[in-house]
């Protein structure tokens, strides 16, 4: 099965891009962050498959149906179907897929803090039966990539049977999934899944810092607005800045080495949606369709008054910070992650340090009043 992975950091727009791709007759999207297939690429499942076939379990070889799973030359392990289900429960969010299937709903964030739901018609029993049929009928051995394909094919077949919007008469559909945050999942998939394409989200560091601070603040301060606490959170992300900068360097390097990688600008996706989606359409080699230009989940339009997705950035720091704080944020994000000489960075650190003392004092004073 042809695979497309949307990648990036937290708050980088991965979910929005997936909703834009959804509904196209050549695309099947997984809207649930379950990592059911891609979890098998990680170190834990790999170690289990290659080393977990203990002496006690070898006694079942004659009676249990198992396959040889190949990770590469001289890297082969055995796996039966119960092992596969065990790995899905232990190393992915398969339970979350169960929960959504049982509820018959998929929830999404219309905007930060606002959840909405769309119907989700999916049978876990049918999915596992189809996966088991792949396991039984497709030979005694399989590469790890083929094992991933079985999971995606079983998922797609289950959706299609349950009146998915996918056009069964179209060419082989693309399966669109979302990888976990950061570069490691990209490197794991890129090194294993030879036919996959990658759409890697790239957002301005200042925007990512602000959006992440909003998310953290909402978790800590559910009862109201404390601008001093928020400012402390916003400017206490030095390690995050450095990880984001390293991420940007890595994706530039990867995109220069592979024709299967496209770096996607978050800001362009929001403000130049049609032009960007045309570039993505050409990259994925799919026909033009108007549904690409509006966000959907399983073909159902989801942009509403409660959460406009395109045309404006809901968590844009320029609309929420003072001019002084915006200037500080831009300097903070630019210098701390730039790798510049220490003498350039020290004034920024000192400036933020003084501001933190000031904000802490005001926060404590406010709590006493």
Average pLDDT, the chain: 82
Higher pLDDT, 323 or 148: 148
- Three-state secondary-structure class, residue 9: coil
Statement: residue 59 has pLDDT above 90: no
CB contact at 8 A, 342 and 365: no
What span, in angstroms and rounded, lies between the C-alpha atoms of 288 and 356?
51
Phi and psi of 113, rounded to 5°? 90, -5
Of 136-150, 231-245, 351-365, the range with the lowest mean pLDDT is 351-365
CA distances (Å), 2 to each of 152, 153, 202, 223, in order?
10, 10, 23, 46
* pLDDT category of residue 218 using cuts at 50, 70 and 90: confident
DSSP readout, 310-334? SSS-TT-GGGTS-HHHHHHHHHHHH
Statement: residue 162 has pLDDT above 50: no
pLDDT tens profile 315-345: 888 988 888 888 888 887 776 655 554 444 4
State whether CATH 2.20.25 applies to domain 2-36+93-121+163-368: no
CB contact at 8 A, 19 and 309: yes
What span, in angstroms and rounded, lies between the C-alpha atoms of 54 and 78?
10
* pLDDT category of residue 352 using cuts at 50, 70 and 90: low
Higher pLDDT, 241 or 341: 241
Q: Report pLDDT for 110.
A: 63
Statement: residue 273 has pLDDT above 60: yes
* pLDDT category of residue 356 using cuts at 50, 70 and 90: low
pLDDT tens profile 292-304: 999 999 888 876 5
Q: Two tokens at 310?
A: 């395109």
Q: Report pLDDT for 146.
A: 93
Statement: residue 147 has pLDDT above 80: yes
Q: Two tokens at 53?
A: 């076939």
- Looking at residues 13-31, what average pLDDT do you find? 93
Q: Specify the residue for token string 């797609």.
A: 156
């Amino acid at each position: 099965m042809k695979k497309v992975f949307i990648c990036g950091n937290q708050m980088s727009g991965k979910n929005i891009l997936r909703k834009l791709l959804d509904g196209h007759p050549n695309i099947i999207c997984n809207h649930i962050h379950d990592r059911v297939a891609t979890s098998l690429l990680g170190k834990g499942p790999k170690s289990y498959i290659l080393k977990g076939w203990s002496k006690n379990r070898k006694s079942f070889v004659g009676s249990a149906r198992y396959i040889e799973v190949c990770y590469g030359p001289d890297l082969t392990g055995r796996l039966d179907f119960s092992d596969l289900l065990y790995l899905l429960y232990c190393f992915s969010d398969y339970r979350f897929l169960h929960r959504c299937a049982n509820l018959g709903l998929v929830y999404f964030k219309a905007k930060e803090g606002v959840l909405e739901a769309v119907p989700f018609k999916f049978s876990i029993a049918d999915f596992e039966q189809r996966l088991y049929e792949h396991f039984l009928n497709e030979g005694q051995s399989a590469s790890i990539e083929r094992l991933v394909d079985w999971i995606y094919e079983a998922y797609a077949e289950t959706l299609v049977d349950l009146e998915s919007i996918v056009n069964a008469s179209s060419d082989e559909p693309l399966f669109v999934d979302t990888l976990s945050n950061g570069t490691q999942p990209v490197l794991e998939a890129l090194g294993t899944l030879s036919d996959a394409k990658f759409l890697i989200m790239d957002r301005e560091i200042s925007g990512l810092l602000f959006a992440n601070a909003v998310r953290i603040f909402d978790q800590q301060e559910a009862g109201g607005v404390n601008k001093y606490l928020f400012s402390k959170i916003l400017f206490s992300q030095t390690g995050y800045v450095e990880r984001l900068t390293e991420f940007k360097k890595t994706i530039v390097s990867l995109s220069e080495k592979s024709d299967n990688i496209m770096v996607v600008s978050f800001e362009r996706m929001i403000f130049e949606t049609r032009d960007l989606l045309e570039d993505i359409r050409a990259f994925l080699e799919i026909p033009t369709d108007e549904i690409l230009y509006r966000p959907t989940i399983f073909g159902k339009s989801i942009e509403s008054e409660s959460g406009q997705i395109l045309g404006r950035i809901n968590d844009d720091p320029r609309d929420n910070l003072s001019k002084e704080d915006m200037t500080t944020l831009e300097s903070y994000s630019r210098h701390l992650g730039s790798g510049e000489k220490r003498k350039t960075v020290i004034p920024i650190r000192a400036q933020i340090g003084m501001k933190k003392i000031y904000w802490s004092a005001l926060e404590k004073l406010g709590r006493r009043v």
